[in-house]
Structure 1
C-alpha cells in the first residue's frame, strides 16, 4: 500500500498516470480548515485531511460524507508518507489540517512519540478487525486499511525462460535468480523498509543480516523509490515496459496485478504480473486527529467516516488496499487478480520502533556501500 511513500498500492495508479479525485472541495493550496475554528463561534464547514500523495476516493463517496455531516473534505497532499509525516512533526501543535491519514505501522512510533494526535475513539471501531488495532487503549490513531508488500514477478520473463518464479525469501538467494531482483532503499522507501522488516521477521534479529549479505551477493539492485523500481527498472509493469526495465522481480504490493489489469488498454484476461506470496510483509495504515486541529468536530466526523462501510468499500479500486472493517465485499477485479496472502510476515509496532533506525543503518552499511 516512499518512506512510506506508502505507496500503498494506490501509488501504482498514480505512476500509471491515472488521475484520482482528491477531494470534493479540491486539494492543495491553503491549509486553512475553513471559516471557523470548529470549537466555538462560527463552525467550520471544511475539514482538511493531510495525507501522502496516494490518497484517493470516489467523488460520490466524499459527497456522501458532505450530505451526512455538512462538511466538505479538502485533501492536502504532502508528498510520500514519510515526507508528509515529517512535515506534521515539524508543525506539531499548529498542524496543516485536521486529520492525518497514511502513517503506517513501520513509522507509527515516530508519530506517537512526537505526540501528534488527540485521542479519539471513532464510531464503528468495534467493527474493525482487532488485529489492526494497535493502540486500542489510548485511541490516538484509527486503523484504516492494510496492504501486503511482496515481491512481484514478470510472468512473460519466467515463461520465456522456462523458469519457475521464486515463491519465498529463501528462493531469492538461489543462483537461478541472480541479478533479477530490484528493491527500494529501506532508508527512503516504505516498500523497501517493509521488505527489510519482512526479512527481519523471517530470519530473526541475528539472521537477517546474513540473509542480506547473500542477497547482495546474488545481485540485488537497490533504487531510491518505488516508482523508480516498479516503473523504471522492473520489466513487467506498463511503466517498466515504456522505460525498458530489465529486472523481472520487484518489491511492490500484492495488489499490484489488479492495477495492471484495470488500466490496461485493451484489458487483458490475465494479469501480466504475479506475486511471490512467501515474501510478504503486512502494512497497516492509520489516521488520527491532529493535535491543535482548527476543526476538531469535523475531524472526528471524518475519522468516523473513514471506517464507515461506504468509504471502506470504496478503497480497494481507488487505493488498492484492503478494508479493515469486517464484512466488506471486495470488488471482483481486486479478488480475481490480486494475491491473497494468508500468512504474511508481521512485526509489533513497539519492536519496529525499538529497532528500526538501527536496522536501517546496518542494512545501509551492508547493502548500499
Structure 2
C-alpha cells in the first residue's frame, strides 16, 4: 500500500477518434460484469487503431507492492486494440517533470497522463501560462456522460476523472474512541493521538488542511491548527511515514483514506485497528484525473485509451486494484469493495475556481505558523 507525495512546479520531491468515439467501442455498451467484455465484437476503429501509446503516471499505479491496476489496464487495452501497445512511463517527479519541460520549451514525447488533481492544474496554469500542456478532451469521449458531476474538477475539461479517494481518519478502536468532529480532536481526550502529514509534501496532508479550512473558514483555520498543535498533534513528512508510525502503534489515529479496510481485509488484519472516522460526517474528496498531451502524435489512440478508462469494465476493475472509488455511475466494483470501502455521508471539496489564487497562500501561512513551530 503506497500513496503519492504532492508535487509543485520547480520542486523535485513534493506528495480520440475525430468527433466523438463511436459508442460501440471501449465498452460504451454495457457488458456482463462476469465476462470482462470477452466476445465483444471488435469495431473497425478498434481493429485499425494502432501504434505505441505512451502513458505517464505515478509509480504506484503501475508497481505498488500491494496492488496496482497498471498491468491489467495494459493487458485489457491491448486486447481491445490489438494493433496498439501501451507503454507505461513513471517519471520520478510525476507531472512536475512535464510542467518543467513545457516551461523550458522542451518537447514532450508522451501521449497521456494519468493521475492529475486540481492542485496540479492550478500549478500548470500558474507556471506555464498560455502554453498548452493538455488539450480539452471530455466532449470527445462517449463514456464521459457516465462521470459523476460532483467529481469533475477542471472547468476547461482537460482532466477527466477516473477515480476518487476520500480523506478520512483511520483509528484503532482498541485504544481510542471515534473522534466525531474537528473540535473533538482538540480536546484532552484526544491529546497525543493524531498523526497527520505535511501539507507541503503529501496529498493526504494537503487534503486534510483544505478539509479543515472548508470546515473552519479561511479566517479561522490557523487558530484551529494552533489548538491541534497544543493538543500534541504530530506532523510527518509523507503518508508512508505517517501510516507506518500508526501501524507500529506510535499513535492510534492517522489521516489516511476511507478505503483502508479493503487493504485490512485482504491482509487479515484486526479490523478494530482500521476503523474509519468521518469528522462532522464529512470526508474530503480528492478525485484523480487523466488528460491528453496537446503535442501527442497519436491523438486518436489517446482518445481511445481515455474512453476505455471510463468504460464499465475498467471502472469496475480499477477500484479493486487501485483501491479508490470509481468516477462513474455504472461501475460495479464487487462485494468486497462495497463492504469495506467507506464513503462519507457528506463529501466535501474545493473547486478549481475556489482554490486558484488561494491555495498556495493558505499552505504557506500554515507552513510558516504551524509546521515550522
The aligned counterpart of 1:327 is 330
The aligned counterpart of 1:117 is 134
* Greater CA drift, 85-94 or 301-310: 85-94
The aligned counterpart of 1:145 is 163
The aligned counterpart of 2:341 is 338
The aligned counterpart of 1:250 is 254
**Distance (whole Å) between structure 2 residues aligned to residue 344 and residue 296 of structure 1:** 34
Task: Assess if the C-alpha contact under 8 Å between 2:290 and 2:306 holds in 1.
Answer: yes
Secondary structure of 2:358's counterpart equals helix
List aligned pairs for 1:262-273, cutoff 5 A: 262=266, 264=267, 267=268, 270=271, 272-273=273-274
**Does residue 50 of structure 1 match 2:52?**
no
The aligned counterpart of 1:128 is 147
* Greater CA drift, 277-286 or 216-225: 277-286
* Greater CA drift, 186-195 or 58-67: 58-67
Deviations 1:223-270 (A, max 9, x none): 110000001x11xxxxx2xxx3411111100011211211x1xx3584
Q: Structure 1, unaligned stretches of length 5 or more?
A: 6-42, 159-163, 235-239
Task: Assess if the C-alpha contact under 8 Å between 2:118 and 2:154 holds in 1.
Answer: no
**Distance (whole Å) between structure 2 residues aligned to residue 269 and residue 200 of structure 1:** 33
**Distance (whole Å) between structure 2 residues aligned to residue 133 and residue 280 of structure 1:** 17
- How much does 1:205 deviate? 1.1
**Distance (whole Å) between structure 1 residues aligned to residue 154 and residue 341 of structure 2:** 29
**Does residue 216 of structure 1 match 2:229?**
yes
Task: Assess if the C-alpha contact under 8 Å between 2:162 and 2:327 holds in 1.
Answer: yes
**Distance (whole Å) between structure 2 residues aligned to residue 280 and residue 198 of structure 1:** 8
The aligned counterpart of 1:100 is 113
**Distance (whole Å) between structure 2 residues aligned to residue 187 and residue 304 of structure 1:** 33
Q: Structure 2, unaligned stretches of length 5 or more?
A: 8-48, 62-67
Secondary structure of 2:265's counterpart equals helix
**Does residue 261 of structure 1 match 2:265?**
yes
**Distance (whole Å) between structure 2 residues aligned to residue 134 and residue 66 of structure 1:** 29
The aligned counterpart of 2:86 is 73
Which of 289, 302, 317 is 1:299 aligned to? 302
**Distance (whole Å) between structure 1 residues aligned to residue 178 and residue 322 of structure 2:** 27
**Distance (whole Å) between structure 1 residues aligned to residue 313 and residue 359 of structure 2:** 35
- How much does 1:156 deviate? 2.3
Task: Assess if the C-alpha contact under 8 Å between 2:201 and 2:237 holds in 1.
Answer: yes
Residue 78 and residue 256 in structure 1: after superposition, are their counterparts in 2 closer, same or farther (change >3 A)?
farther
The aligned counterpart of 1:91 is 101
- How much does 1:60 deviate? 4.6
**Distance (whole Å) between structure 2 residues aligned to residue 220 and residue 269 of structure 1:** 25
The aligned counterpart of 2:30 is none
The aligned counterpart of 1:276 is 277
Residue 359 and residue 324 in structure 1: after superposition, are their counterparts in 2 closer, same or farther (change >3 A)?
same
The aligned counterpart of 1:4 is 6
- How much does 1:326 deviate? 0.7
**Root mean square deviation of aligned Cα:** 2.1
Task: Assess if the C-alpha contact under 8 Å between 2:320 and 2:333 holds in 1.
Answer: no
Which of 347, 350, 362 is 1:347 aligned to? 350
The structure 1 segments of at least 4 consecutive aligned residues displaced by more than 6 Å after TM superposition are none
Deviations 1:2-60 (A, max 9, x none): 4438xxxxxxxxxxxxxxxxxxxxxxxxxxxxxxxxxxxxx862211111122131645
**Distance (whole Å) between structure 1 residues aligned to residue 252 and residue 108 of structure 2:** 42
Task: Assess if the C-alpha contact under 8 Å between 2:198 and 2:236 holds in 1.
Answer: yes
**Does residue 360 of structure 1 match 2:363?**
yes
**Distance (whole Å) between structure 2 residues aligned to residue 129 and residue 218 of structure 1:** 38
Secondary structure of 1:282's counterpart equals strand
**Distance (whole Å) between structure 2 residues aligned to residue 143 and residue 343 of structure 1:** 19
Aligned residues: 312
* Greater CA drift, 336-345 or 314-323: 336-345
- How much does 1:277 deviate? 1.1
List aligned pairs for 1:171-210, cutoff 5 A: 171-210=184-223
- How much does 1:272 deviate? 2.9
